[in-house]
Chain A
Amino acid sequence: MTATDAGAAPVGFGRMHRKEDARFIRGHGNYVDDVNLPGMLHGAVLRSPYAHARVVSIDTSAAEAHPKVKAVITGETLAGLNLAWMPTLSYDTQAVLATDKVRFQGQEVAFVVAEDRYAARDALELIDVEYEPLPAVVDARRALDQDAPVIRDDKEDVASGTSGKHHNHIFDWEAGDKERTDEVFASAEVVVGQDILYPRVHPAPLETCGAVADFDKVTGKLTLWCTSQAPHAHRTVYALVAGLPEHKIRVISPDIGGGFGNKVGIYPGYVCAIVGSIVTGHPVKWVEDRSENLMSTSFARDYHMRGEIAATRDGKILGVRVDVIADHGAFNGTAQPTKFPAGFFHVFTGSYDLAAAHCKVTGVYTNKAPGGVAYACSFRVTEAAYLVERIVDILAYKLEMDPAELRMRNLLRPEQFPYATPTGWEYDSGDYPNALQLAMDIAGYEDLRREQAEQRGRFERGEDGHLVGIGLSFFTEAVGAGPRKHMDILGLGMADGAELGVHPTGKAVLRISVQTQGQGHETTYAQIVAEELGIPPDDIEVVHGDTDQTPFGLGTYGSRSTPVSGAATAVVARKVRERARLVASAMLEVDPADLEWEKGRWYVKGNPSEAKTIQEIALAAHGTLELPEGVEGHLDATTVYNPPNLTFPFGAYICVVDVDPGTGAVKVRRFIAVDDCGVRINPTIVEGQVHGGLADGIGMALMQVMAFDPEGNHLGASFMDYLLPTSMECPHWELGETVTPSPHHPIGAKGVGESATVGSPAAVVNAVIDALRPLGVVHADMPLTPAAVWRAAQGSPLRTDLAIA
């Protein structure tokens, strides 16, 4: 890498170039599809064209006769290995390959293994499946109708009718105080309610999901290269599910081309690749194509919400309550901590001081793919933040109050922290009004409202056809799962390990359990160690992604890496620092208490020239120096960090749009984002995370949706139909920052990976609805495509989750 004149990398926090860039800019990234092993075969999945159908018969003989085909696996094959069904992360079961029925369009039915991917594709057409189509449940709001088709008749209590509940009902979950909330609402001066949909969307990372499975018959070891955001969790699940001894399973997440929650779950294709490798004795690669990714892997959201807000006439918000129908698809596969079937949705009280709040979430089955928790959702915080920010705007409309003023009046004040919300969270820290004011200053809020007023005048006089909208969003997230007593995934407590070793020559190796998919961990984690030990980041190797080489942890999603593993890294580095103190005390022949630390060295109090650098200490620790009683040689440490609480990043966003009511077209003119994620390890990387999430907001607010027709056909199964925002729809992002450290985090950091995805959709939607205010529009659901905007303006809004008729 040629040096640049941009300045040396900081030894610790600060802006620096990313260490990992060297390979990516040369096209030398190592993604799963780049992995090639001798004798490797290729797998392909045959998928159901029907959303709901009985599988009458499967004839694989023609496929097996194809000269390049090595194996064909069906549900029947897997049933013999007790692998036709596997547990999900939500204690349900999911079909690996269909046995009795197919339950969503795109569901896996058979798996072929062939010499090359083109032959595998050809072989799929040679498999003859006879289906008996059944009526499908497509509308989540109808899933609990008396006459709704039964989906999960594979479950004994459903099939026999003894479950005691509706056959498509999964769970009910509540948070908050219903009685108190009802009281508050009953006596409130103003109550506003609105049906608000957060439609089904999909993270759509540019790299699809895939795996290379290599089972070595002789050693009994399975090596699995996989697009996994949680390699250790995957290893444990494979051990539990497939009966393979855990010490004989190695999961390697190489470079991952974006995860965004899409790569958390275990997909049938991975299991089939493993079985394929066992059956053929060769490595088997399976990488899905884009339609498979969109149709069958973890979708996000699909929350049908009824939100209500109660307030005084002069704008003091008193309470919020929400009822939700959660569409979980055909199998409940959400990746939630066990005790939280609706994730952290109960953070819907948002950033406000409320007297009472209550929510009820009802999960239902439909004939769609499983998932729900994905796409930078922070475990349903996206749904919660959208709900509250939309309903606050609707309240502002009703009260004829400026939305910024209404928010400013009700935001939590700094002195109220730590703040216990009516639904059981304890927010750690925040100065909310400061952040909102900063966003307004950057935006020039008063000028924008003035421009809007003038524009509205011209519109009303027929002089100008276009409308300006200004939308706000103030969000609080709950991230960094989490304290292991309360939070586990499939019984695995959400604490993370970290291991740090300093070599004799003073270079270091950090081993972490989290898995970057572009967040820059190879750089930022080195910076954490650098900050604690004074070793330059370029002298610190960050090892991740390989379960044979890293400690156990729950992986990267829900913005948990910095809050949990970042904390673990700081803690383990401090342990090394303390051990270094003891070694230094032996080197300098002083009492350890007489030593002081300044970045990179221990020195004698009052005599700074008597010092030892961390590099000198490392060499001595490996040498012949006599160490004090109880102090072992070398210079390393391990830790498992169990977070005491979640962290609560927050932000204030403002979006400015221009709407053409003649066509419904929306142009995002400006987007101002002020984020507070506590202490920033590398501001450049933080800003990059925010930029990416803001684009998600544009996408979800204006164009992204997975809709279904009455037969359950998936209407968003390609990038022609599932539209992602381009460089043209995204404006230049205007960022600001405030820093309110987390009081309980070792370095005061909160995590930021999902903040912008959480906060931005409401800002865009609020802006569009604000633009349409002269036309009397109060609400319209995402995505606000031109058709949706135009229809809203006509007073006949579209239902966006179903086919447009």
Chain B
Amino acid sequence: MPSITVSVNGQEYAGEVEARLLLVHYLRDHLGLTGTHWGCDTSNCGTCVVWLDGVPVKSCTVLAVMADGHTVDTVEGLERNGELDPVQQGFVECHGLQCGFCTPGMLMTARWLLNHNPDPSEHEIREAISGQSCRCTGYENIVRSVRWAAEHGGKEAAGPESGLEAEEVPA
């Protein structure tokens, strides 16, 4: 069985895995990081989106062995030192989630989008999440949540009581 070493949310994990083990199952079942979900068989739904080397990918279509020597970021890594990432706060502010199942994937894509396009239009947000399904929200409030994060994610804290701070771009 191949041995792999993967850096996940900044922490190194080493272990033996079957070559066929999917990255999503590695994260959920081997590392206990169940925030990343799975929901289909054909790489469509996007509930499994994580970052691989800083780029959003569908972890159900990546082998864990492909992540050997690489870095993975998941939803569990968004909150830093007890401070929510602006995208997380945005989803709370704007009711961007209902059942929560698509949410981790949406958050990871949103975070990546804002890192590269800090002031996206509604169309750009819709395009960025067009590979991910949501059955609850009709996408309206997801778009609003990302816009909220764009407007409140700068170096200045959002307000005197909010306690939000600018997030470092994950490597």
Chain A contact residues, CB within 8 Å of chain B = 1-6, 17-18, 20-29, 31, 33-34, 36, 116-118, 203-208, 255-258, 260, 289-291, 517-520, 684-685, 687-688, 690-695, 718-720, 724, 726-728, 730, 732-733
Contact = CB atoms under 8 A, between A and B. Distances in A.
Nearest to A718: B42
Contacts of A21: 91-92, 97, 100
A290 B76 contact: no
Contact of A27 (B35, B38, B134, B143): B35
Contact of A26 (B35, B38, B130): B35
B70 interface: no
A3 B141 CA distance: 20
A28 B95 contact: no
Q: 10 shortest A-B CB distances, which residue pairs?
A: A27-B35, A518-B99, A257-B101, A24-B100, A691-B138, A518-B98, A719-B44, A27-B75, A695-B138, A5-B159
Contacts of A118: 18, 20-21
Contacts of A28: 35
Given A26-B35, A28-B35, A719-B41, 14 more contacts: A1-B92, A4-B162, A18-B92, A21-B100, A25-B88, A27-B34, A29-B101, A118-B18, A206-B135, A207-B99, A257-B39, A290-B40, A517-B99, A730-B140
A727 B136 contact: no
A260 B44 contact: no
A572 B41 CA distance: 45
Contact of B161 (A5, A117, A260, A733): A5
Contacts of A25: 75, 84, 88, 91-92, 97, 100, 103, 107
A666 B28 CA distance: 40
B139 interface: yes
Among A21, A28, A205, A519, the most chain B Cβ lie within 10 Å of the Cβ of: A21
Nearest to A520: B98
Interface string B120-144: 0010011101111111111111110
Contacts of A726: 129-133, 139
B153 interface: no
A519 B98 CA distance: 6
Contacts of B97: 21, 24-25, 518
B84 A206 contact: no
Given A2-B89, A17-B92, A290 B101 contact: no
Secondary structure at the B interface, as helix, strand, loop or mixed, is loop
B79 interface: yes
A690 B136 CA distance: 9
Given A206-B39, A290-B40, A255 B100 contact: yes
Nearest to B163: A2
A256 B99 contact: yes
Contacts of B79: 26
Among A1, A28, A34, A207, the most chain B Cβ lie within 10 Å of the Cβ of: A207
Interface string B20-59: 1100010011001111111111101101000000000000
Nearest to B127: A728
Contact of A206 (B29, B99, B138, B164): B99
Nearest to A698: B138
B122 A732 contact: yes
B136 A27 contact: no
Contact of A3 (B45, B131, B133, B163): B163
B135 A692 contact: yes
Interface residues of B, number: 68
Contacts of B83: 2
B1 to A, nearest CB: 12
B162 A207 contact: no
A204 B135 contact: yes
A28 B38 CA distance: 15
Contacts of B160: 5
B135 A205 contact: yes
Contacts of B135: 203-206, 258, 260, 692, 695, 724
A17 B93 contact: yes
Given A28-B35, A255-B100, A724-B133, A733 B140 contact: yes
Contacts of B37: 31, 33, 206-207, 257
Contacts of A18: 92, 95
Interface string B50-86: 0000000000000000000000001110110001100
A694 B41 contact: no
Nearest to A690: B138
B42 A727 contact: no
B6 interface: no
A256 B136 CA distance: 12
A208 B37 CA distance: 11
Nearest to A5: B159
Nearest to A694: B138
Given A26-B88, A688-B95, A692-B138, A206 B44 contact: no
Nearest to A516: B99
Contact of B41 (A27, A291, A693, A724): A291
A27 B101 contact: no
B163 A27 contact: no
Contacts of A205: 99, 101, 135
Given A5-B160, A518-B98, A684-B95, A720 B44 contact: yes
A117 B18 CA distance: 13
Nearest to B101: A257
B137 A692 contact: yes
A754 to B, nearest CB: 13
B112 to A, nearest CB: 16
Contacts of A690: 138
B171 to A, nearest CB: 19
Among A117, A520, A727, the most chain B Cβ lie within 10 Å of the Cβ of: A727
B8 interface: no
Contact of A29 (B33, B40, B100, B126): B100
Given A728-B130, A732-B122, A258 B136 contact: yes
Contacts of B142: 727
Contacts of A518: 97-100, 136
5 contacts: A4-B161, A26-B35, A31-B101, A36-B32, A116-B29
Nearest to B152: A4
Contacts of A727: 125-127, 129-130, 132, 134, 139, 142-143
A27 B74 contact: yes
Given A5-B159, A206-B45, A732-B122, A290 B39 contact: yes
A184 B75 CA distance: 62
A206 B139 contact: no
B127 to A, nearest CB: 7
A757 to B, nearest CB: 10
B158 interface: yes
A255 B21 CA distance: 26
Contacts of A720: 42, 44
A2 B82 CA distance: 9
A724 B134 CA distance: 9
A692 B102 CA distance: 13
Contacts of B76: 26-27
Contacts of A719: 40-42, 44-45, 133
A1 B89 CA distance: 9
Contact of A290 (B25, B42, B140, B143): B42
Contacts of A730: 138-140
B155 to A, nearest CB: 17
A6 B90 CA distance: 12
B126 A728 contact: yes
Contacts of B132: 726-727
A290 B135 CA distance: 14
Nearest to B99: A518
A576 B57 CA distance: 52
A491 to B, nearest CB: 31
Contacts of B137: 688, 691-692, 695
A207 B101 contact: yes
B41 A289 contact: yes
A730 B123 CA distance: 11
B34 to A, nearest CB: 4
